[in-house]
Structure 1
């Protein structure tokens, strides 16, 4: 069994400005037919593998995928499966697209780790779901964080910064700039994921012209992180 991952960017699709051009989200005001065309192009690009999407709500609800078919799961922010031949997708435009996989038990997960989801500890909760439902060992789980807004650009308000320092520790803040990636990585390590198995993209979406950034652009599209087994 081979684990495959992909992070798209904003190029190669049919969406018009300001969604130019490979927007994959239906909820941002883009033309529905263009988004569906982009999703079809994406499925073809990965070998016509069906893709499971989420209606993400910045919460901590985790759903299990039991069928290898294209679908959209309502009101959740993480998907987990042990099925091959189906891709799990997470859409972002600054939040962390977190992909988890266990090559021993052959289990994969896609996680929407934005600020709210991170504060709700969705990453370690997904690891626990993999353990409880599929018998995974935390030491066998790998984590891949795709492009997201980095500590160079993620400025938050003073009140929220004070909450982060009190709840999680001052080392996640540099003035009013939050290191969301390190916070998620430490949460994963706290539940047994090995530091050597955690990979963090160096791409900041607010800095990159090739990625959507809600913080920078406001009205914009969403790119996706995908994971599947073949």
Structure 2
């Protein structure tokens, strides 16, 4: 199997402000017809492969995707499959679009790692689900953390900062600023991945206008992280 990964940005679609222009989410108040056109455009770039989206709820539910899965899975924040030619999608606008894949076993996963998901260790739980369901060895799993909000911009309230200091190494909590990508990478290492298996985007969505950012804009669109596998 050959694994493919991609992160979209906010450019090249038909959505109007404040969702300009390549918004892929139906739940943010955008015109559904514009979202459908954006999704169709994205699908056409990927040989019209079927997509599986998530109704993301900032939890830690991990679902297994079968070949005849619905286009949107309800109430989950991570999806895993061993099916070829099926694109798994995670939508974000500051949260971490985490893509996991094991080329030896032919297993891929898309994970929505927001603050709540990171606090619930959704990254580690997804690695565990891949091992439990498909026999994946964490030593064979690779991870890509796409563009997301970084410690430079992610300030939280004192209670959230206190919880973070209690549960994460101090390197990832600077006063009231949290390093969510760093926390996620630390959880992946704790789950059995090595540093060299983890690729982290240097781009902060709140700083970088090429991406939607809820922290910067409030009402805005969502871009996507995508992972899929083909037989060649």
TM-score by length of 1: 0.98
Residue 162 (structure 2) pairs with residue 151 (structure 1): no
* Matching of residues 53-68 of structure 1 within 5 Å: 53-67=53-67
Match of 2:72 in 1: 72
Deviations 1:41-69 (A, max 9, x none): 11001111111000000000111110156
Match of 1:108 in 2: 108
- 2: CA distance, partners of 1:169 / 1:70: 39
SS in 2 for 1:142: strand
Match of 2:7 in 1: 7
Paired residue total:
230
CA RMSD of aligned residues (A): 0.9
Measure how far apart 1:102 and its partner are: 0.2
Farther off after superposition, 210-219 or 59-68: 59-68
Q: Which runs of 4+ in 1 moved over 6 A?
A: none
Match of 1:48 in 2: 48
Measure how far apart 1:169 and its partner are: 2.9
- 2: CA distance, partners of 1:137 / 1:174: 33
* Matching of residues 1-230 of structure 1 within 5 Å: 1-67=1-67, 71-230=71-230
- 2: CA distance, partners of 1:47 / 1:69: 19
Farther off after superposition, 202-211 or 65-74: 65-74
Deviations 1:54-105 (A, max 9, x none): 0000000111110156610010000000000000000000000000000110
Farther off after superposition, 4-13 or 59-68: 59-68
SS in 1 for 2:97: strand
- 1: CA distance, partners of 2:147 / 2:70: 24
Runs of at least 5 residues in structure 1 that lack an aligned partner in the other structure: none
